[in-house]
Amino acid sequence: MRRLKLHWQILIGIGLACIAGTLTGTDAGLFGVTYYQAYDFIGTLFLNALKMITVPLIMAAIITGIAGIGGEAGLGRLGVKTVLYYMLTSILAILVGLALVNAIAPGIVDGEPAGPRLGLAENTEAALQGVEGRGAGDIAEVFLRMVPPNIIAAAAEGQMLGLIFFSLLFGYFMTRIQPDYAGSLKRIWQGIFETMMKITLWVMRFAPIGVFGLVAKTVSTTGFAAFVPLLSFFVTVLLALAIHTFVILPLLLRLVGRVDPWLHFRAMSPALLMAFSTASSSATLPLTLECVQENARVSNRISSFILPLGATVNMDGAALYECVAAMFIAQAYGMELSFGLQFTVVLLALLTSIGVAGIPAASLVAILVILGAIGLPIEAIGLILVTDRILDMCRTAVNVFSDSCGAVIIAKTEGETAVLSKEFAETRG
């Protein structure tokens, strides 16, 4: 019997989790153990496994990738293209969000600001505490995190930016030492990289079960009823994310990358479902790398440069969400939506999305920064907490998808012909 493809397995895991989570809720159990605890255990175990492989995988991927780029010119060119791509797609995402939130106006009901009807979430205080320590959103902070005083501590705390910067330096200077040392080092890192990719593949075999645990846990706590009052906000975000994912990015793939977007969706489907289930770009990174290299056929040289960096700094979904959420709250509070206010929101959404970490709920910190800047009380964030987790799952998938599109587009502009080639698609069926 042919084994079901990974993305189908994950999808089934998600479907079963929705059913199980709704049926059991948080309190039902067997022999004194609640189902919720079981979901939590499975999900955490799987997330731990993903986090376990991240540090060595990312280091090895970047070091071997940079060492293979060859010289300053190659690195400079790739760097410029990458930054341009990150900026362009984030701005496009924010503008889509801004257009929709103005058109639909989810914060205004029957011509009145919706604030009083929605009421603030009672547990705002507790939620705000949960948000603390998720990484600040301002730019100076980003640079400070980029150069960590202690690389081991940065790795231990999952500060990816510092780790990425160190690995970039290491890969670059590794090629500038005596050739025999450089050669041995290259072989060692290449070996580590291959080994880590094998471990990743093995961990992924458990993805459907892990995903089941993660999603069932979310569904059993959140339920679906809580969404009703926020439905139009929810729909606005989903619609904007969908336009960015199914119109804007495919257009870029088609026009700039000259590839079939559908093939790319297929190549990335396991990573997208994983991003959806974990709500963390960083935890998804091993699978993103795997899909971009093995399925989309982008070289390690390019993918290992763009993807780890993208997982922390390029967040289209988060940027879009921040803009829509801040505007929604401003609408609900009856603020005048002047050009200045909208411009501030757009600019801050762009800048803070760079600083947002690739972990669940990280955007909430950035939204706090924006609310403060436009003169709203930070408690106002209570309005959107109920829907945050599900929207987080969706925006994380968009974050990951945009990174992967960047890898494909840049690889094509660098002359990689194997990327998403038709022949390759046919052999994979």
Residues near ligand ASP (CB under 6 A): 279-281, 315, 318, 356, 358-363, 392, 395-396, 399
Closer residue to ligand ASP in complex, CB, 292/356? 356
Nearer to ligand ASP, 279 or 324 (CB): 279
Minimum distance, C-beta of residue 366 to ligand ASP, in the bound complex (Å): 8
Question: What does the block give as tokens for 183?
Answer: 């050669």
| Minimum CB–partner distance for residue 201 and ligand ASP (Å) | 22
Cβ nearer to ligand ASP, comparing 217 with 395: 395
Nearest to 239 by CA among 399, 104, 111, 364: 104
**Residue among 263 and 361 whose Cβ is closer to ligand ASP:** 361
Q: Is 86 left (phi over 0), alpha (psi -120 to 50) or beta?
A: alpha
CB of 427 vs ligand ASP, minimal distance in Å: 32
Q: Least distance (Å) from ligand ASP to the CB of residue 1?
A: 36
Q: Which is nearer to ligand ASP, 78 or 361 (CB)?
A: 361
CA angle 51, 54, 57 (to 5 degrees): 155
Long-range contacts of 414-420 (CB under 8 A, 24+ apart): 414/78, 414/302, 416/297, 416/298, 416/299, 416/302, 418/297, 419/257, 419/259, 419/296, 419/297, 419/298, 420/259, 420/260, 420/263, 420/264, 420/267, 420/296, 420/297
In the complex, least distance from residue 222 CB atom to ligand ASP, rounded to whole angstroms: 15
In the complex, minimum distance from the CB of residue 355 to ligand ASP, in angstroms, rounded to a whole number: 11
Chain-centre distance for alpha carbon 314: 8
Alpha carbons 236 and 37: distance in angstroms, whole number: 33
Distance CA 313, CA 83 (A): 10
Residue with tokens 């980029």: 146
**Least Cβ distance, residue 391 to ligand ASP (angstroms):** 9
Residue 290 vs 388, nearer CB to ligand ASP:
388
DSSP 299-364: -HHHHHHHHHHHHHH--HHHHHHHHHHHHHHHHHTT----HHHHHHHHHHHHHHHHH--SSTTTHH
Pick 115 or 310: Cβ nearer ligand ASP: 310
